[in-house]
Amino acid sequence: MRMRDCSPLFLSLALLASAVTAPPLRAADMSTDLSGAYENARGALAAASLPKDKNMPHPLLGRIWDAAAKKFIDEGELMRRLGKARFILLGEIHDNSDHHALQARIVRGLAAAGARCSVSFEMLPVDIGPRISARALGRPVSLQDLEGAWRDANEGDTYFSWSAYRPVVEAAVESGFGVLPANPAKADTRLLHEKGWSALNADFVARYLLDRPLPESVLAEKRREVVAGHCGYDPGEAYANAAINVQRARDASMAESLASSERGVLIAGVGHTRSDSGVPAYLALRFPEEKTISIAFTELASGFEDPATYVREPQDYVWFTLPWKRQDPCVEFRKQLERMKKRS
């Protein structure tokens, strides 16, 4: 998930995330040569995470781990399994370009296997929908339409930049797949944070049981995530609860976007794709008989070679990638806290 703003709300949100049975797909003839997908990253790795010998690849690089079976599978087998799912959730780290390359690869693989899908994006708010709807436009949606809507929705946002996500959007367009917004409108999340569930559509709230309290154990874990998202700073229980509500609404909104298609693919931060409290949990409320598969694209670290150690959140599959070089957002956050303390 991303850190685009050091305000408490955005930090906490950044680090928290009638059924139609889809027919199985034809098995795709997919290459397992993944070398090209990692080419972009080799010049921008986090030095602390690199093996001492840069020419020696990490033994997990490019491999796919079946978390339930605790074994590796190849890409062809993964694609065959995806062909039996109605909902496919591709959980990323937003600023890792390799993750977007692999998402695009999966989208193209689904098309090659005969799928008809829509691709929903966390990065697009639902109120921008008419700008990327063929029905509203009265003509097919072009890549230019999507670029304009994307840039307007994410103006000034380096984590959700058009250049980073263009490969996935382009793969969807060239595959003939629809592109759908999945995030709530920003105005709605602001109102929810201020006023609670009464700020949202009552049918939407009821459909996903959003106004029902979470079990105390789940709530306590989410509050810990809010504190972690604030780099160890506790913003208080009331604020944390409001931030958790916003996160729940976002997960439900993504589920709603997926539910509008016969087969849906979601592009979202990896926290949204966890099966216990993310988008899959809300899909299970509405479609208990439908199959959902979540994939977590996961950055490797030097010295950690047991795949099970990387499964920190419930996910169906983990696809291992190179790490991406990034600055620690907590450094700037702590600086802001210090400046606030001096002014007070």
Residue 191 belongs to a domain with what CATH number? 3.40.50.11550
Q: For the chain, give the mean pLDDT.
A: 84
Q: How confident is the model at residue 344 (pLDDT cuts 50, 70, 90)?
A: low
Does residue 341 surpass a pLDDT of 90? no
Contacts of residue 213, Cβ cutoff 8 Å, sequence gap at least 6? 219
CB 4 within 8 A of CB 159: yes
Q: Is residue 31 part of a domain?
A: no
The mean pLDDT of 128-151, rounded to a whole number, is 96
Rounded to a whole number of angstroms, the distance between the first and last alpha carbons of the chain is 31
Q: Is residue 19 part of a domain?
A: no
Q: Is residue 95 part of a domain?
A: yes
Counting the structural domains of the chain, the total is 1
Q: How many CB atoms lie within 10 A of CB 261?
A: 20
Q: Is residue 36 part of a domain?
A: no
Does residue 263 surpass a pLDDT of 70? yes
Q: Domain range spanning residue 183?
A: 60-343
In this prediction, residue 343 carries a pLDDT of 76
Q: Which of 49-53, 99-103, 231-235 has the highest mean pLDDT?
A: 99-103
Q: For residue 193, what are the CA distances in angstroms to 197, 220, 238, 250, 254?
A: 9, 19, 10, 12, 18
Q: Is residue 130 part of a domain?
A: yes
Task: Name the token pair of 335.
Answer: 């600086």
Q: Is residue 9 part of a domain?
A: no
